[in-house]
Chain A
Amino acid sequence: MQQPTFVTTERYQRWFSRNKIFVTLIILVFLASITSDYFWTWNNIMNVFRQASVIGMIALGVHFVVLIGKLDLSVGSILVFSGAIILWGQNLFNFDIPGSFLLGAISGILLGSLNGIIVTYGRVPSFITTLGTMFIYRYFMMWVADAGAISGSRISHTFLGHGYWLGIPVVVFPLILAAISAHFLLSRTLFGRYIYAVGQNPRAAYSSGANIRMVTVIAFALSGMAAGLGAVLETARLNSISTANSGVYYELDAIAAVVLGGASLRGGKGTILGTVSGVLMFSILNNYMNLQNVSTYLQGVLKGLLIFLVLYRQNRLREE
């Protein structure tokens, strides 16, 4: 019989086969760099990161929900809800950046947990639940704010949204921190193990001792929290939030990035590196198209085609 052996080259091979999307991203960067003079400049690359920050933050949260084989369509609305609360906190109570992050996280966790509780205890499919709360969260805020915009006034937030530190946009740092935390959570903790287990085989996870309801609620809470943190970045960039127009389609962009990153909508599969790569890929595509003066509308079409192309290739590779 064969004793367990550990071959390093094989590990590299496996790493590459599991992170194909990352390799694809590198290729895309390379192609963009040789076809455009301006693309591979510090300023522009930082621009790519800055543009990716809000969707990136949301996608990191949605990643958890997708991992347990569910969907969260309410994140765009949570972003609006939390954004409004953050700006009120600034205007009425004079909260600074830490206060904003705290408000964003708490409001996001509450709204996300509500989704999770409806899904687990109400036994409503996540698609329906979050479709419902997508309307409720947004229209509630529109009703409160009379469908208008809420503006902020603090200079420190402008620094968060537009400033630079060590030549890197400040808004990128929370994203990096969140990505590392999410990766750590998934790969090192018990919760990470359980989340993959529940996603791959809920019945087996249950009989192996996983608390499926708790895992589900936490996953939705994390998704909400990420959307709340995304709201901090969004309000910092724009200094205002429009209850009617902010965050529209963000949930779909986030899901698209997660799926592009190799996660399976049936759950149990997907890495943070993949999701981050997916987000960056969309951001690069937009950026490159802008540099090449392609119409914004056509960009949307190309975005859809990119999803088809990458997923087609992935499925082909999986079959072989």
Chain B
Amino acid sequence: MLLQMKGITKSFYGVQVLDNIDFELRPGEVHALVGENGAGKSTLAKLISGVHRPDDGYMVVNGKPVPLFSPIEAQRMGISMIYQESCLVPEMSIAENVFLGSEPRWLGLFSNMMKMKRETKSILRLLGMPLHPNTKVKDLSMSEHHIVAIAKALSLKANIFVMDEPTASLSDSERIRLFGMIRRFKANGVGIVYITHRLNEIFEICDRVTVLRDGKKVLTSNVNELSEKELVKQMVGRELTQIFPPISEPTGVELLRVENLTRKPWFEKIDFKLNEGEILGITGLMGSGTEGLAKTIFGEVKPESGKVYWHRQPIQLSTPRQAIDTGFGYVNRDRIESGLFMDMNVYHNLTIASLKKIHRYHLVHEQQEHHKALDAIIQLDIKTHDPEQEIKFLSGGNQQKVMLGKWLVAESDLYILDEPTRGIDVASKSELYVLLHELVNEGKGMIVISSDMSELIGLCNRILVMHEGRIVNEITHEEATQERILQAASGIRG
């Protein structure tokens, strides 16, 4: 047995996050850890990798009991973790980041740059990302960032890997390569704890699965003895009938029109129209310009040319402030870097974009603030012990909900959502979809940028597919299939 945990209990600030958890990992197995947001998956992973210490219970690693240990000791014992949010040093090169803290040395003094570069290159090649090891991390895109974080974890000669949502920002081909590596590790007797929200991945790569619900272990079972439906039922505690609500007809009143919008090198000559009550999907492979397009519409970046019409009136937005005042709301795909204020409480995070609506003589009207924020908390079912607690104590999925809640509080009319369901569990996802539908039924418009095919197909009235900065295809809800979207996204004309 590689890892054995018994009676693990952990609470934060009086809130019990894990309650008497037993968990074990055999050599050569991929053990999935699933559950809803806030079920305690990430906390359990952090206990394994020594970031947190359990309040009660004990752990045995490689046959040795470990009473208390730190991330460094965990690394020394052969435990390596891939975090949900990668932490790399932007100013350092890829090779330096990969070997940070474990640099191969000459005479125990000078770091062996050649060896670092060589090994980095070979790991990156295995992951299918032929980046130069000298590239600085700050110049990488988000998914490349993630690949480097994975490479960093893999470079350690570990026999226990903890992977927290490793595929969250990977493309399909990168994911397949990662799975290839996982299979190779398995053959060498390495054990992997695999946390994910994507159920199909469990059936694809995992051997056993442990389900957590509200900090308690529900079951551990072999994956092949379980159906997907059964698994969801165990996670949620009830049966989920339907994931996507029916698509409703847009009204036909024009809300937003974009003409000839260009911002090189991200995108050029973008034309589209969005009606009231419509959900428009935009998708594309990495580097196809979807993120830049969203930022430009929201006024964070100025376009080189082109026009934007709002309610048939031409508008020019040069700051997000103007976009917010017009009624736009933008959920960024990167919640840590540009979405949330980790040391602010939930109230303040929810109302930061709508302070203009809740003040009198520039004084914050706290009663109104709490009122509006609580509405959003209830509407989105944000699980928080106390809204005056800092948001860093919320689980990742609940943080994601706060990002959307911010624009509910601001009563936006246009929602630009970039990967809105990243890191959100199945049950919350379908609740969120229902909520999005309620919003568009009120006549609001929505642009959903996503790489999740089933989400696009199930949610959107129309899907625009981008390839290398241009819209290459427009697919209606009725005709949408995964193949069609992927074909268009990879630039194949069909």
Contact = CB atoms under 8 A, between A and B. Distances in A.
Interface string B358-383: 01001110000000001001000101
Contact of A204 (B341, B383, B386): B341
B140 interface: no
Given A5-B385, A209-B353, A200 B320 contact: no
Given A6-B386, A10-B386, A269-B343, A197 B337 contact: no
B364 A4 contact: no
A193 B374 contact: no
B6 interface: no
A193 B353 contact: no
Contacts of B332: 204, 207
Nearest to B406: A208
A268 interface: yes
Contacts of B353: 208-209
A187 to B, nearest CB: 9
A4 B320 contact: no
Name the residue among A6, A207, A269 with the largest chain B CB count within 10 angstroms.
A207
A206 interface: yes
Q: A-side binding surface: helix, strand, loop or mixed?
A: helix
Interface string A207-226: 11111000000000000000
A190 B364 contact: yes
Given A189-B363, A191-B362, A200-B342, A211 B321 contact: yes
Name the residue among A5, A208, A210 with the largest chain B CB count within 10 angstroms.
A208
B101 interface: no
A34 to B, nearest CB: 34
Interface string B1-37: 0000000000001100000000000000000000000
Contact of A206 (B300, B325, B341, B388): B300
A227 to B, nearest CB: 24
A35 interface: no
Contact of A2 (B325, B340, B385): B385
A10 B363 CA distance: 27
Contacts of B415: none
Contacts of B325: 209
A6 B387 CA distance: 9
B453 interface: no
B258 interface: no
Contacts, number: 94
Contacts of A207: 298, 300, 320, 330, 332, 338-339
B383 A200 contact: no
B291 to A, nearest CB: 13
Contacts of B355: 190, 193-194, 209
B348 interface: yes
A14 B388 CA distance: 10
Interface residues of B, number: 38
A208 B343 contact: no
29 contacts: A4-B384, A4-B387, A5-B385, A10-B14, A188-B363, A189-B362, A190-B355, A190-B364, A193-B348, A194-B355, A196-B343, A196-B348, A200-B344, A201-B342, A203-B337, A204-B337, A204-B340, A204-B341, A206-B300, A206-B320, A207-B338, A208-B324, A208-B352, A208-B406, A209-B320, A209-B321, A209-B325, A211-B319, A268-B343
Contact count band on A: 20 to 34
A120 to B, nearest CB: 14
A318 to B, nearest CB: 11
Contacts of A206: 300, 319-320
Nearest to B324: A209
A1 interface: yes
Nearest to A206: B320
Given A10-B13, A200-B344, A204-B341, 7 more contacts: A10-B386, A14-B388, A190-B362, A193-B364, A196-B344, A206-B319, A207-B330
A185 to B, nearest CB: 10
A200 B343 contact: yes
A144 to B, nearest CB: 38
Given A193-B352, A197-B352, A204-B339, A4 B386 contact: yes
B416 to A, nearest CB: 11
Name the residue among A4, A10, A191, A268 with the largest chain B CB count within 10 angstroms.
A4
